[in-house]
Structure 1
Amino acid sequence: MKIVIVEDDLALAELLCDELEAEGYQTLAFGSAEEADEWLDSHNPELVISDLRLPGQSGLTLLPKVKALPQAPALLLITAFGTVNQAVQALKAGADDFLTKPFDMDHFLLTVKRLLEHRALKTKVEGNGFHGIIGESPVMQRLFKTLGQVAKAEGPVLILGESGTGKELVAKAIHQQSSRRAAPFLAVNCAGIPSELLESEFFGHAAGAYTGASKSRQGLLREADGGTLLLDEIGEMPPALQAKLLRVLQEGTLRPVGSDREVKVNVRILAATHRDLEQLVASGDFRQDLFYRLETFSVRVPPLRERGDDIALLARHFLSLQQQAGKTQAQHISQGAWQQLLNYAFPGNVRELQNAMERAAVFCEQEAISASDLPARLRALDDKGSSELFDSLEQTELPSLSSVQHDYVRYVLAKTQGNKAQAADILGVTRRTLYRWLESS
């Protein structure tokens, strides 16, 4: 793995290179952010280690370049005690970690190893997806193609999908694939802000605009200038604010609350909702002209139940995250647990699957996650589905419990191609119990 070191202290740079190369890494050192920035134009290392304070530009200026690379390297900042606050701000902006001088070399090497392992996992995941969205199913491959096309444009995008499908991840992917990737990406939940504060939150305000507004504020639209703003749950936006948003989309200008002058703004608007906006337009709760403007590009995120084998891909990924965090001893998922996961409809979509796997990983006390480790709702029988098996039978034709058990055991054995260990796992019994049932039938 190639590691780039940006450090103007030549003795420290040489020491770090020696220690890293002794661990088997390839290293390359630069004495300034400008030199590293030029090299990164045509190279993609796995890790960049940079001093925060450098001659000329600071190490922090490398962050947008690093994050914009096709396979973004991890970024580790080295900082003196006096610049810790800057390093913390860098973490919020997307840096992966920082170390304070002087640092212990063993701790440094462990930090490097952890960051590289995390990046390797992230790269593996993204190999099965698109900018952090995991999926190999045909519907997701079509979505990835659409996102790549939409990202090249500049118009607004309407992202539709049920709760938990990953609409914000889709918005981030559009931003990362676009020419705006080095500029800010901001997201705001329109349903999570009190209606009386929405206008100020979006458009900003002048000092003295209202009681308590002692200082002027830019607002989200100006904070995202040059970048992308996601308006989540756009259907919850009040009609008065919808009209002002439409003006931003049409004119590229806004007027802060309490101000008498227009301000130009260059921001791409992405809007997401799980609601039926056309129905809201019909009921008069959403402006028709804003709906048509937002619908310049429309993207539908499929629910998990339409994604086939992606359930298994995602389940393994979420288990892997728990393993990486050291929160579970589970190494794999049992056949019985798979049966429950693959038979469940997941009304809460990817978010529900993630929560289920986190819960199962924490409660698992063996090497394999069993069905009993999953949330109760995944283990519950679908009453409608089970009753349909017998709806066509008259009362005198209803089978006995023992005959249903006999038939189902044989069915499971057939499905597992006679593998009694797998069959017992699916049935939730020991192999000894399964053998006893087979002998008595």
Structure 2
Amino acid sequence: MQRILLLDDEPDILNLFLLTVKRMGLEATTAKTIADAKEALANQSFALCLTDMRLPDGSGMDLIKYMQKHHRRTPVVMITAYGTMDVAIDAMKLGAFDFLSKPVELDKLRSIIENAIILSEDAESELTDPTPASTGIIGDSPAIKRLHKQIGKVGRSHAPVFIYGESGTGKELVARAIHSLGPRREKPFITVNCGAIPSELMESEFFGHVRGAFTGANTAKEGFFQAANGGTLFLDEVADLPLAMQVKLLRAIQENVVRPVGSETEHKVDVRILSASHKDLQALVTDNQFREDLFYRLDVIRLEVPPLRERSEDIPAIAKHILKRQLEELGLASMTLGSEALSALQQHTFPGNVRELENLLQRAITLSENQTITAEDLALTATNKKVIDSGEAQPSMAQNTPNTVANSHSLPAGMTLEDYLEDIETQLIQQALEDCRWNKTAAAEQLGMSFRSLRYRLKKLNID
């Protein structure tokens, strides 16, 4: 039977926690001071430590630091007074699994205990150590090793995480890894592209709506929060949220409740929030483009995903992994990357990062006439390469520019007119997406088409 350590100097609160734990079929050990807690930890193993912030012989922060050093695999939940959110955030930055505000909601207490026990069981079976195989993040560079270590740490927490990195670096992959290594891994992981939702539909998409709430609402629909209940909600490109929606999102995160459009009833939700953007949220806060209170709710822990050009030693392994996957998906025979092709890739600046590498290899597979992909098959131009002498990188594109292709007066060998035109269309769309940092709404506007039309073309041309 799992045992919980309960630490509080108020007898009434301690008895309430004790009763709740016993009703869950768990055992508990109580303590009133940090000294008592340390003695209990020295003699027994615990699935969870629940501690008050203020204690007679110190602070709950002191206990968290002690636990991180001596009992790191035991999750700690901090109990704070109402309104001390800054303290709760500091606690999670130190390594606390989660926090509870007084007066404590028993439903939330039970949910936290259940998740902490799952985490404790994972620790015993050593399932929480992330590897490239478990996360899908390929590489052996110092930056990736550091990222894996950070993912393993935040995976053991309920703290909100903000993932910062350029477009195409794999921020969603990092978010999925955090989810898969935590106690919510068996629950839903819902991804939301905040930049692709029309502003007039945002509230309905996030919180759902009831039947008849507006024209066209013929049936009730649950929103992203309800769909992610019990699991993780990943807000990709969160910086693109309009200010009006930021206010509503903040309340949902603070209160753990949502109200569907057209409904008078609020629904409790339990989700972990992960968010990401290629934009610096702190700079947007300074420019009054992003709410400061929401920023502090989202950016409790920050992970930075390094761009591909800063870990060129990982490019051969990543390229081979992508090539193998693409060949399997296409049902094609084995192909390899020649040494000159690998060298050319390592000299490339990759403004589109891993996503650009995927597109390069996909095109090379299509155009190559041999089993070995050459540097010529990659069609990298001189402007794609790093300027080694100056140490600076020149702006580049992964593909030939549309004008270069369009000005050719004959079809490339082995290509039909239809394939040729699709290739030009693909390049134009990809360039627009890269120019707009993969914001599909902005890219559609730049291309002079509707969002729906762009979405159709992305599906037709198999652009991911």
Q: Could you list the runs of 5+ residues in structure 1 that have no partner in the other structure?
A: 1-68, 71-125, 390-441
Corresponding residue for residue 63 of structure 1: none
Counterpart residue type for residue 374 of structure 2: S
How has the CA–CA distance of structure 1 residues 383 and 135 changed in structure 2, closer, same or farther, with 3 Å as cutoff?
Answer: closer
Q: Is the 8 A contact 2:175 2:234 kept in 1?
A: yes
How has the CA–CA distance of structure 1 residues 266 and 306 changed in structure 2, closer, same or farther, with 3 Å as cutoff?
Answer: same
SS of the residue aligned with 1:308? helix
> What is the number of residues matched between the two proteins?
264
1:220 aligns to 2:224 (yes or no) = yes
Corresponding residue for residue 379 of structure 1: 381
Q: Is the 8 A contact 2:349 2:385 kept in 1?
A: no
Q: Is the 8 A contact 2:347 2:385 kept in 1?
A: no
Q: Is the 8 A contact 2:338 2:375 kept in 1?
A: yes
Q: Is the 8 A contact 2:160 2:273 kept in 1?
A: yes
Distance 1:257 1:166 in 2: 33
Corresponding residue for residue 251 of structure 1: 255
SS of the residue aligned with 2:312? coil
Counterpart residue type for residue 385 of structure 1: V
**Equivalences for 1:24-423 in 2 at 5 Å?**
128-325=132-329, 328-329=332-333, 331-374=335-378, 376=379, 378-381=380-383, 385=387
Q: Is the 8 A contact 1:327 1:361 kept in 2?
A: no
Q: Is the 8 A contact 1:160 1:167 kept in 2?
A: yes
Q: CA deviation at 1:274?
A: 0.5
Q: Give the TM-score normalised by structure 1.
A: 0.56
How has the CA–CA distance of structure 1 residues 263 and 308 changed in structure 2, closer, same or farther, with 3 Å as cutoff?
Answer: same
Distance 2:390 2:220 in 1: 64
Q: CA deviation at 1:381?
A: 4.4
Distance 1:295 1:241 in 2: 18
Q: CA deviation at 1:257?
A: 1.3
Q: Is the 8 A contact 1:195 1:238 kept in 2?
A: yes
Q: Could you list the runs of 5+ residues in structure 2 that have no partner in the other structure?
A: 1-120, 123-129, 392-464
How has the CA–CA distance of structure 1 residues 244 and 362 changed in structure 2, closer, same or farther, with 3 Å as cutoff?
Answer: same
Q: Give the alignment's Cα RMSD to 1 decimal.
A: 2.3
Per-residue deviation, residues 400-432 of structure 1 (Å, max 9, x unmatched): xxxxxxxxxxxxxxxxxxxxxxxxxxxxxxxxx
Distance 2:376 2:331 in 1: 18
Distance 2:326 2:213 in 1: 48
Distance 1:388 1:216 in 2: 60
Higher Cα radius of gyration = 1
Q: CA deviation at 1:164?
A: 0.1
SS of the residue aligned with 1:134? coil
How has the CA–CA distance of structure 1 residues 212 and 295 changed in structure 2, closer, same or farther, with 3 Å as cutoff?
Answer: same
Q: CA deviation at 1:387?
A: 9.2
Q: CA deviation at 1:216?
A: 2.0
Q: CA deviation at 1:129?
A: 4.4
Counterpart residue type for residue 185 of structure 1: F
Q: CA deviation at 1:367?
A: 2.5
How has the CA–CA distance of structure 1 residues 221 and 232 changed in structure 2, closer, same or farther, with 3 Å as cutoff?
Answer: same
Q: CA deviation at 1:323?
A: 3.3
Distance 2:343 2:223 in 1: 49
Counterpart residue type for residue 136 of structure 1: D
Counterpart residue type for residue 380 of structure 1: A
Distance 2:369 2:149 in 1: 41
Q: CA deviation at 1:127?
A: 5.8
Q: CA deviation at 1:327?
A: 5.1
Q: CA deviation at 1:335?
A: 2.2
